[in-house]
């Protein structure tokens, strides 16, 4: 090992840690249900992204998760209000509380909606030197007015990576969503419904698998080199 290190002159050996299987140890197993925050991206009275979110929430609860669904109504646009605004505080508190998230958006003009993006933009990438979303799990879903598309979920995957979340492999895209729900808002039996079950099951499994080892998984060489003060200064740039 030392011979290999000697060939890496740019490496700060005092901050370098070799990943080891035995270090992936759960010090204390969490006994509370997985905590899942759900965000949806439409304010319509009959919002299909909301209906899909609520259907998924029922499944998560059946799987033993504790679920919170955030209502984006009255959430101001980013930078249009201080972060002390009640809806902003509610959203940020829920993000801090959660161990995993579900983001669900309509696809509008080939993209996720601004309503969902605004919610994500209000969630800080960092608070001081702490990243409130880092290492948490994420599932993404979208509803389509026409044929099946994946533009919105692909965009949300990029955002999830940017927020340093563990975005699960599976995802849901419901085509012609207006045909997939009963008048009472419940989702009809279909292959689309079965996929939602798959996605929520996978989310719960990934959350259970990672939540107690997340601190180790997100421990980074570059950040070990920085002091907390330096890290806070770099990731909290007010000028952008």
pLDDT for residue 216: 86
Domain definitions of the chain by residue range: 31-210
| φ, ψ for residue 177, nearest 5 deg | -60, -30
**Tens of pLDDT, residues 42-93:** 999 999 999 999 999 999 999 999 999 999 999 999 999 999 999 999 999 9
Give long-range contacts, CB 8 A cutoff, 24+ apart: 158-164. 159/103, 159/117, 159/120, 160/103, 162/125, 163/120, 163/123, 163/125, 163/133, 163/134, 163/138, 164/125, 164/131, 164/133, 164/134, 164/135, 164/218
Closest CA to 111 of 151, 140, 144: 151
Report the C-alpha gap between 231 and 218 in whole angstroms. Answer: 15
Say yes or no to pLDDT of 126 above 80.
no
Average pLDDT over residues 90-104: 96
Say yes or no to pLDDT of 23 above 90.
no
Q: Which residue has the higher pLDDT, 59 or 213?
A: 59
pLDDT for residue 196: 98
Length of the chain: 240
| φ, ψ for residue 223, nearest 5 deg | -80, -25
At 20, the pLDDT band (50, 70, 90 cuts) reads confident
At 236, the pLDDT band (50, 70, 90 cuts) reads low
pLDDT for residue 131: 76
Measured CA angle at 120 (ends 54, 109), to 5 deg: 80
**Tens of pLDDT, residues 166-184:** 999 999 999 999 999 999 9
Average pLDDT over residues 103-112: 96
At 123, the pLDDT band (50, 70, 90 cuts) reads very high
At 238, the pLDDT band (50, 70, 90 cuts) reads low
At 157, the pLDDT band (50, 70, 90 cuts) reads very high
At 190, the pLDDT band (50, 70, 90 cuts) reads very high
pLDDT for residue 203: 98
Q: Lowest mean pLDDT: which of 26-40, 42-56, 72-86, 211-225?
A: 211-225
Report the C-alpha gap between 180 and 191 in whole angstroms. Answer: 10
Q: What percent of the chain has pLDDT over 70?
A: 92
Query: What superfamily does domain 31-210 belong to in CATH?
Result: Flavodoxin domain (3.40.50.360)
Report the C-alpha gap between 158 and 38 in whole angstroms. Answer: 18
Say yes or no to pLDDT of 129 above 70.
no
């Amino acid at each position: 090992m030392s011979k290999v290190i000697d060939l890496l002159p740019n490496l700060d050996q005092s901050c370098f840690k070799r990943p080891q299987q035995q270090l992936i140890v759960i010090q204390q197993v969490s006994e509370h249900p997985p905590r899942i925050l759900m965000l949806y991206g439409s304010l319509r009275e009959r919002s299909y992204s909301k209906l899909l979110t609520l259907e998924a929430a029922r499944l998560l609860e059946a799987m033993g998760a504790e679920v919170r669904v955030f209502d984006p109504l009255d959430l101001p646009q980013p930078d249009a209000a201080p972060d002390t605004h009640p809806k902003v505080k509610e959203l940020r508190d829920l993000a801090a509380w959660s161990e995993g998230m579900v983001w669900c958006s309509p696809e509008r003009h080939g993209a996720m909606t601004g309503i969902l993006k605004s919610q994500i933009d209000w969630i800080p990438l960092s608070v001081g030197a702490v990243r409130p979303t880092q290492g948490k799990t994420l599932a993404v879903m979208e509803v389509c007015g026409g044929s099946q598309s994946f533009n919105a979920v692909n965009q949300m995957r990029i955002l999830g990576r940017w927020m340093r979340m563990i975005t699960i492999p599976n995802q849901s895209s419901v085509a012609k969503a207006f045909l997939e729900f009963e008048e009472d808002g419940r989702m009809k039996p279909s292959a689309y419904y079965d996929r939602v079950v798959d996605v929520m099951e996978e989310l719960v499994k990934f959350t259970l698998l990672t939540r107690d080892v997340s601190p180790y998984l997100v421990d980074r060489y570059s950040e070990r080199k920085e002091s907390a003060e330096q890290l806070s200064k770099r990731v909290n740039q007010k000028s952008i």
